[in-house]
Amino acid sequence: MKSADTMQQQPVSIYIHLPWCLHKCAYCDFNSHATKANQFPEQLYTQQLIADLAQAAPLISGRDVQSIFIGGGTPSLFSPESIEKILSACTTLTRLLPKCEITLETNPGTFEYQKFAEFLSAGINRISVGAQSFNNIHLTALGRIHDANEAINALETAHKIGFKNINVDLMFGLPNQSIEEALTDIETACHQQVNHISYYQLTLEPNTVFHRFPPKLPDEDINWEIQTNGLQALENAGYQRYEVSAYAQANSQCVHNTNYWRYGDYLGVGAGAHSKITTRKGILRNQRTRQPDSYIQAVINQSHILQEHFVANDQLTFEFMLNNLRLVDGFTIDTFTRTTGLHWSQVEQQVNDQISEGLMEKINHQYRASPHGYQYLDELIQRFLPN
């Protein structure tokens, strides 16, 4: 399988899931579990997560690791010692590139100077701060544990400590949010001179408080205004949109998330983590046990892989498009053939049909959603579903 050989020489990413938070936010459907500080089994979890990594590492042996993303949950609840242990296991068990991007997701309600200085010393070189908004009314409605001052303080502190690579997560379309309030949030984030902004529209997900008790959200027109004006404000401030929700200053695109969007390979360890790895037999996907306590026990019993399958051939094009069409620059034929193992001829007609309909375009060697297709991205992606 020629493309598997090529893919197996490509760099991979590692995702590490740390699943606890001090409070479950009203909108959140991530695999995160409320706990009191210091009342979760940090040491045991860290130990079993490292055992999980040691068992899984052969799947990516011989491949360079270009990024590690420690996400959650609220990874900043963990001590710098645990984070250091996890990173040192990554160094020993896998082949980290010298410039490996290493991100830690943090919550402003857990931001302390000393602790974050130690995260930097432990090897974290990119910090992602979940501000969500800088408006106290909206933060309270979302069920966040921090206020606007703490969010600003977290960003200022991250700079002072010496983090050069800082992302802020913002959401828009919040309950009763006006266009002006949303734009003020963007202005505040830009003023902090972070080099990356993730700007998500709030969605009401099943199994959340907001789904059971839906708040009044801005209507479609207001959200449209927020998004178009917000995009303009971000670009005026020097942030280029490169994915549906991702904006970056020059050379600050997130390596880790870009690898997902390019349909690259990644190994996920920790409760509920997903992996996608190209093997000689095909593209393997698996997921680990979700509940943290069950996960710890399952790693001990070596039964923590909940499900595992090879991606069916007729799914490959859809999975590829689902990810790559999110990128403003789209993809090249080479990326398609290398990551899917398919011949371009297997999708060429379908792509040409979308170009004729004005939903996609080809600029030099890049195929991508046209401005119209980007506006109706879900519909465009559905067109690549297998029959």
Ligand X SMILES: C[S@@+](CC[C@H](N)C(=O)[O-])C[C@H]1O[C@@H](n2cnc3c(N)ncnc32)[C@H](O)[C@@H]1O
The correct pick among 14, 28, 166, 194 for binding ligand SF4 (CB under 6 A) is 28
Summarize as ranges the residues that interact with ligand X (CB under 6 A): 27-28, 30, 71-72, 74, 105, 107, 130, 132, 169, 171, 200, 202-203, 205
Q: Judged by CB, which is closer to ligand X: 8, or 133? A: 133
Q: Judged by CB, which is closer to ligand SF4: 142, or 322? A: 142
Which 110-169 residues touch ligand SF4, going by CB under 6 A? 130
Contact 106, 146 (CB under 8 A): no
- 272 interacts with ligand SF4 by CB under 6 A: no
- 72 interacts with ligand SF4 by CB under 6 A: yes
Q: Choose the one of ligand X, ligand SF4, none that binds residue 226, judging by a C-beta under 5 to 8 angstroms depending on kind.
A: none
Q: Which stretch binds ligand SF4 (CB under 6 A): 23-31, 111-119, 218-226, 290-298?
A: 23-31
DSSP 105-130: EE-GGG--HHHHHHHHHHT--EEEEE
Strands (E), the chain: 12-18, 20-21, 33-34, 64-72, 95-106, 126-132, 166-172, 196-201, 240-243, 246-248, 266-270, 274-279, 282-288, 305-310, 360-363, 366-369
Q: Judged by CB, which is closer to ligand SF4: 268, or 341? A: 268
- 267 interacts with ligand SF4 by CB under 6 A: no
Residue 307 CB-density burial (10 A; 0-12 exposed, 13-18 middle, 19+ buried): exposed
Cβ within 8 Å of residue 38, ≥6 positions away: none
Q: Choose the one of ligand X, ligand SF4, none that binds residue 228, judging by a C-beta under 5 to 8 angstroms depending on kind.
A: none
CB of 171: closest distance to ligand X in angstroms? 5
CB of 211: closest distance to ligand X in angstroms? 9
Q: Choose the one of ligand SF4, ligand X, none that binds residue 182, judging by a C-beta under 5 to 8 angstroms depending on kind.
A: none
Token pair for 189? 């984030």
Residue nearest to ligand X (CB): 130
Q: Choose the one of ligand SF4, ligand X, none that binds residue 205, judging by a C-beta under 5 to 8 angstroms depending on kind.
A: ligand X
Provide the phi-psi class of 198: left if phi over 0, else alpha when psi is between -120 and 50, else beta: beta
Cβ within 8 Å of residue 279, ≥6 positions away: 4, 8, 59
Q: Choose the one of ligand SF4, ligand X, none that binds residue 329, judging by a C-beta under 5 to 8 angstroms depending on kind.
A: none
Half-sphere exposure of 173 (CA within 13 A, CB side): 15
Q: Choose the one of ligand X, ligand SF4, none that binds residue 171, judging by a C-beta under 5 to 8 angstroms depending on kind.
A: ligand X
List the beta bridge partners of residue 72.
18
Query: Which residue from 279, 160, 164, 176 is spatially nearest to 223, judged by alpha carbons?
Result: 176
- Please report the sign of the dihedral spanned by the C-alpha atoms of residue 297, residue 300, residue 302, residue 307: positive
Token pair for 266? 């990644």
Contact 194, 238 (CB under 8 A): no
Q: Which stretch binds ligand SF4 (CB under 6 A): 70-78, 218-226, 257-265, 288-296?
A: 70-78
List the beta bridge partners of residue 309.
285
The correct pick among 73, 173, 270, 341 for binding ligand SF4 (CB under 6 A) is 73
Which 82-121 residues touch ligand SF4, going by CB under 6 A? 107
Q: Judged by CB, which is closer to ligand X: 101, or 105? A: 105
Q: Judged by CB, which is closer to ligand X: 208, or 286? A: 208
- 198 interacts with ligand SF4 by CB under 6 A: no
Q: Judged by CB, which is closer to ligand X: 30, or 318? A: 30
Q: Which residues bind ligand SF4 (CB under 6 A)?
A: 21, 24-25, 28, 30, 32, 72-74, 107, 130
